[in-house]
Chain A
């Protein structure tokens, strides 16, 4: 009965509402302290095991059974869909494995319509991983900075408004990011890329060996990675912000009382508390970056060789290959199967990344509990 008297219920709700709409933005797992769970944690409808003071609430009426079946059935349907995705992708990708005259893992080529079909995932795997790594390196520090700013620098009122603004960034369709990247970002960063290649070209990844004018820079993995970084910032910052806002007031006050500067307070009280949150948020962002299709497809020209010079045009990812090659795959069953195989690889990779994120959170929760 003493529920919600000593903490402001609207604060949590406001931020939860602000974080809706962003997949995975709501705290994954329950990161709140245990006492809070016990008091306000949801779903504590008393059933047989959780009964309190003799209230049972469970009953065996017809209506109840039907309703529970419906609710559980919806949950079950989700599991069925996930299983079906895996089964159908594997089944329909089989021709890609049997008909391929190259090695599907190591071949750097994409000619599934040739006779015999010759293709492999090496280059798209490289492109997917590299563009996602660039996105993480650029995006995660900025996103954590944004989360720190909103949670601990801005005033309460400004924090809600600014949080909403960042969430709007998440609502912008990926297609629009791609168009903006193609028509605005690429023309405006060609000079910067030439500068990178000229002055930092001794680091191989920045070297463009063929370009002589700024106009020859552009549709490369570096730009794709930067666009992905802009796209993952709202997701990563929404999740980390949630976690930073849950740092116990006492810990923060203790740091202040010891005479810490603001940065020392953040470093000793806030960031250690939020570390698991930052990691899982980053992995959610990684999942998003790995699977992003249209934005990448718009700014990259297909290229099916592994190229470490990231400022040279070319490169492709699993997702963008599927979108770009689908039109020409037309009636060829092997070409379609090759694309489905690419989808299967992508599915497995994102599955692993997302599962790892959840496990990190779950483990972390056990340690702190």
Chain B
């Protein structure tokens, strides 16, 4: 981007149109004076050096204040430097670019911190026992125990929710893409959008009022799966819709031209063509609900024992195990042992979600239609 003026280029003094000050401008150039390409680095090093000096002089403790001072000094100093050499417009440009780079860093740093922190904290409890044992009979003051019961519960609930939500989601997407015209289709599109925004706790409360209050039932696994399905449907519709739209119209027309009825065209042409995309979007929808906690608090409860039956009795899930081990479920206090187990369960949950996500994206790239 920056064309730094070669030091051997002859320069003349030209008054700046903004400040009236005279400054050096290369004679044979259409571009005004520019900072050299190493200027940002120089400004950065200078800002850090000044901040470290201030930290030593004023004997600040910790590095937080020094860091923010350096950042502030860099933004102000670099902009001022640019202003004096390049003028107002370039200085504004530098200032805005700095903020945009900074905002990206500000978004990525927490992510890396979270992943790093949970990785370090959670990995310390990982052992063969941790994945093969339940918490049955393990008190909060004891070591040991594992998340087997919770892992089973999470996998079962997610599987049930997927079996309910994915067909509904894909059929709705087919309706919107292949049939949808007029008022009804617009209403469906609108409510898919609105449903995306329904908070997970509200979906949980709905199933609670409907099933548990309505029929006087005790918490059980299937109720949680229903709430997860409600949260999953709009995500599945939206993403499947995008995938179906990618199927070229030519393919459908070719099929109609051969006299194939519309429903067979959808089944035999549209769906197979979009299959890899549909699998990807399904995996991403599954990943969305795997980490949901709020509805499970109301609907599934928690047990430290292994319960394979989603239709009766409390069921453990990974998020609820974390909630329980942190003492939030019973309103008790947590200690080092329970917190370590909570981190272990949370790390397992994150790994599960990340595997689903990365897997879905790899699949999408693998089966991406070749560009002509």
Closest to A44 in B: B249
Instruction: Say yes or no for B143: interface residue by CB 8 A criterion.
Output: no
Instruction: Say yes or no for B126: interface residue by CB 8 A criterion.
Output: no
- Size of the A side of the interface (Cβ < 8 Å), in residues, is 123
Report which of B97, B167, B172, B323 forms a contact with A263, defined as CB distance below 8 A: B97
Instruction: Say yes or no for A369: interface residue by CB 8 A criterion.
Output: no
Complex: A263 Cα to B96 Cα, angstroms: 6
Instruction: Say yes or no for B354: interface residue by CB 8 A criterion.
Output: yes
Instruction: Say yes or no for B209: interface residue by CB 8 A criterion.
Output: yes
B113 lies within 8 A of A180 (CB):
yes
| Interface membership of chain A positions 279-314, coded 1 if the CB is closer than 8 angstroms to chain B and 0 otherwise | 000001001101111100110000000000000000
Closest to B353 in A: A171
Which residues of B are found within 8 Å of A347, using beta-carbon distances? 198-199, 202
Closest Cβ of chain B: how far from A245's Cβ, in Å? 15
Report which of A49, A263, A293 forms a contact with B201, defined as CB distance below 8 A: A293
Report which of A67, A175, A355 forms a contact with B322, defined as CB distance below 8 A: A175
Which residues of A are found within 8 Å of B319, using beta-carbon distances? 173, 175, 294
Tell me the chain A residues, 168-225 only, with Cβ under 8 Å from chain B. 168-169, 171-177, 179-180, 183-184, 191-192
Instruction: Say yes or no for B369: interface residue by CB 8 A criterion.
Output: yes
List 17 other contacts, CB 8 Å, given A180-B118, A347-B198: A3-B250, A13-B368, A13-B369, A45-B177, A71-B172, A72-B179, A75-B172, A141-B103, A149-B103, A149-B104, A153-B97, A176-B346, A262-B97, A263-B95, A319-B201, A353-B197, A354-B197
Q: Which residues of B contact A (CB under 8 A)?
A: 1, 62, 64, 89-90, 92-93, 95-97, 99-104, 106-108, 110-111, 113-115, 117-118, 121, 167-169, 171-172, 174-181, 184-185, 187-188, 190-203, 205-206, 208-210, 213-214, 230, 233-235, 237-239, 241-242, 244-250, 252-253, 256-257, 261-267, 277, 280-281, 284-285, 287-288, 290-294, 297-298, 319, 322-323, 326, 328-331, 339, 342-343, 346, 349-350, 353-354, 357, 360-361, 364, 368-369, 371-372
> What are 6 A-to-B residue pairs whose CB atoms are below 8 Å?
A43-B245, A76-B188, A77-B172, A82-B195, A146-B107, A234-B107
Q: Which residues of A contact B (CB under 8 A)?
A: 1, 3-5, 8-10, 13-14, 16-18, 20-21, 23-24, 26, 28, 41-47, 49, 55-59, 61, 63-64, 66-68, 70-79, 81-82, 84-85, 88-89, 91-92, 141-146, 148-150, 153, 162, 164-169, 171-177, 179-180, 183-184, 191-192, 230, 233-234, 237, 261-264, 266, 284, 287-288, 290-294, 297-298, 319, 322-324, 326-328, 336, 339-340, 343, 346-347, 350-351, 353-355, 358
